[in-house]
A and B are shown apart, each in its own frame.
Chain A
Amino acid sequence: MKLSASRASLATLLTLAVATACAPQSSSNSASDRDDTSGTLRVWLFQEVGNEPKKKVVDSVVAAFEKTHRDTEVKVEYIPVETRAQRVKAAFNDPASAPDVIEYGNTDTAGYVHDGGLLDVTKEFSAWPEAKSTDPTARQSVTVDGKVYGAPFYVGVRALYYRTDVFKDLGLKPPRSLAELATTARAVRAARPDLYGLAVGGAYTYGAMPFVWADGGDLADGRSGSYAAAIDSPAARKGIKAYTSLFTDANCPAAKCAGMTGNDTVTAFAAGKAGMAIGGDFSHAAVEAGKVKGKYAVVPLPGVADGSVAPAFAGGNNIGVLKSTRHRTLAVDLMERLAGKKTQSALFDAMGFLPTFTDVRTRAAEREPFVKPFVRTLAAGTKFVPASAAWSQIDSSQVLPTMFQEVVSGKKSVDAAAGDAAAKMNAAFGDAG
């Protein structure tokens, strides 16, 4: 490598910079003003583990749709969940090849709206008769700044899985409060050192948050556009302390559990290595497929007061219409059919997805007793992440796992870690509103 060569390229670079001094590229993603009544509609749904039953339900919805709207064709594509972020970003960047209707995770709503990708369907949603029985948390998960950007598709919620055989052997009862949860967990570990009492993970944000919420803490205060972090409030710090105190040799050793994610804890439970774990209704299949099949039961995660239920995180997915669609009316109709009561009921039977309509959900619980603890958890009130574009940034830069892990590994005190996390969150809120 000669110095003169790098000097020459530097000169070229400067010339180029001067010659084409302009902003980096942006695609024009303005709302399409076309509203065609025929043609092809493209739909992206998530590819589930064992997708066939989902596909069957969707196919029948599509067939009915095509029957009503002659001259239309619906192409459904199932995209892998792991690479959805890239796919959806690409769709926003290239409106010409983007789908009309997409399924998306409900924590992404605010981010996608901020990116300018989702269509505002407030008018259609409020005119939709079925929307009246949508549960309030699900409605909140499609709402940003008071406007609705899609229809809730299903909810996912977590509860406490425990080993019935171990509890019977040791004469234990399912815990009725968070304090009792900790003592029960230690009792299991003391009697059976090969098991974690309660499998916890330092990177398991949504398993940890119920502890914060149960103590009256929250992630952030305020409304869309003016959020302020509240993770360092005294109540939140109490919850953080309660959760992180479970990472001891008497329950789940920090050296092993600090790095665990939610999936890791469920895997440990399914493999028979834990007395209890916090798992979702969506974890049911994984646990059934594990060693502990037939040896476990589920109860709502208890709250602070005896017999209460800790607020759970209301996860789940929504169906939305992309801003760039050229078939606005048709796409909204398809969205309503895909997220409608009939489809949700069929999807519950096929896939176990919990419906977002309270009446459909109640009937579902009657058919399938397994979901009762999850429905009870939902009925007791759930919490959601801040409806801000900053959330996806906070989530992907690991602010909360870092905070829990700092405390668990003894690098920082609860107060210091929570303070740092709050500062990072506020910086993100300041950026994105």
Chain B
Amino acid sequence: MLGALLVYPVYQLGLISLFRYTQAQVSGGEPAVFRGFGNYADLFADGEFWRVLLATVVFAAACVGSTLAVGCALAVLLTRIRAVPRLALMLAALGAWATPAVTGSTVWLFLFDPDFGPVNRVFGLGDHSWTYGRYSAFLLVLLEVVWCSFPFVMVTVYAGIRAVPAEVLEAAALDGASHWRIWRSVLAPMLRPILTVVTIQSVIWDFKVFTQIYVMTNGGGIAGQNLVLNVYAYQQAFASSRYGLGSAIGVVMLLLLLAVTLVYLRLLRRQGEEL
């Protein structure tokens, strides 16, 4: 049952990606034509695709790195502060987590609005536009992505740290280890399974980021400079009704994510960790 639910959509995706399949074919205006790997050939010959793929990989890597750093740092912080501030931080994080992506993006965009946004006013930036430059627009989206995804990392890692026996940490502290040293040599190795899960989760999540880019850069930014793979696939598949080409992008994304996950698991296994 589970297998069928998982496999059938993937099978359909793969099948459609081999056909010339646009709205005309869906609604029966023209027969579906088998193109073999024609859609993939078109895709790989398109310079835009490679540019978008590169941007997606770099952007996702930056997002994963920042999310993990912020999430882990705050998780450690949570274990060191008193109950009231801890509760406040927890609530703030859960609020960010619970905010729907569209709402979060819109609010974030408003904060940085050139005309009405408080950020420009506080920092005295005049009417500086954050979404105009390619990197500043990506940075803005990155901040939003980190903001809405660090709580998951923080809560999970915090739960992991609480499960670490207190004596171990105490022993390390008595030996004179710094905070950084404790994290590096004691906590991180003990939390490895948890960190693995949140990393893979974040990779998959950030690689597939759609809403934030779509809302905050108005569907891909000035001249498409902020396109990521998922928004690009949406443009090709649904906006332009080229479902065959869109499916091909979907298959490429699926394979990439599968490869990343497998390589990551393989690396871990080589280090002698069984999950």
Interface of A with B (CB < 8 Å)?
Answer: 1, 3, 6, 9, 12-13, 16-17, 23-30, 89, 92-93, 111, 114-117, 202-203, 254-256, 258-259, 389, 392-393, 396-398, 401-403, 405-406, 408-409, 411
Contact = CB atoms under 8 A, between A and B. Distances in A.
Contacts of B265: 1
B32 interface: yes
A202 B222 contact: yes
Contacts of B36: none
B10 interface: yes
Contacts of A27: 26-28
Contacts of B114: 255-256
B163 interface: no
Interface string B194-229: 000000000000000000000000111111110000
B223 A409 contact: yes
A30 B28 CA distance: 7
B156 interface: no
B134 to A, nearest CB: 9
A405 B222 CA distance: 6
B240 A396 contact: yes
A196 B225 CA distance: 25
B222 A393 contact: no
A396 to B, nearest CB: 4
A9 B235 contact: no
Given A1-B261, A1-B265, A24-B12, A398 B224 contact: yes
B32 to A, nearest CB: 4
A393 B241 contact: yes
Interface string B119-150: 00000000111011000000000000000000
B26 A92 contact: yes
B85 interface: no
Contact of B27 (A116, A254, A397): A116
A392 B7 contact: no
Contact of B10 (A3, A13, A411): A13
Contact of B32 (A23, A93, A117, A392): A23
A203 B219 CA distance: 11
Given A23-B34, A30-B28, A254-B132, 12 more contacts: A1-B261, A9-B6, A13-B7, A13-B11, A17-B14, A23-B32, A115-B27, A202-B222, A259-B221, A389-B24, A397-B236, A411-B223
B1 interface: no
A89 B235 contact: no
A24 B27 contact: no
B83 to A, nearest CB: 38
B26 A89 contact: yes
Contacts of B221: 259
Given A24-B15, A24-B19, A392 B223 contact: no
12 contacts: A9-B6, A12-B3, A23-B31, A27-B28, A29-B28, A30-B28, A92-B28, A114-B23, A256-B114, A389-B24, A398-B235, A411-B223
B154 interface: no
A282 to B, nearest CB: 22
Contacts of B174: none
Contacts of A30: 28
Contacts of A12: 3, 7
Contact of B23 (A6, A13, A89, A254): A89
B24 A115 contact: yes
Nearest to B31: A26
B19 A23 contact: yes
Nearest to A98: B27
A93 B223 contact: no
A26 B32 contact: yes
Report which residue of A115, A405, A406 has the largest number of chain B beta carbons within 10 angstroms of its beta carbon. A115
A86 B34 CA distance: 25
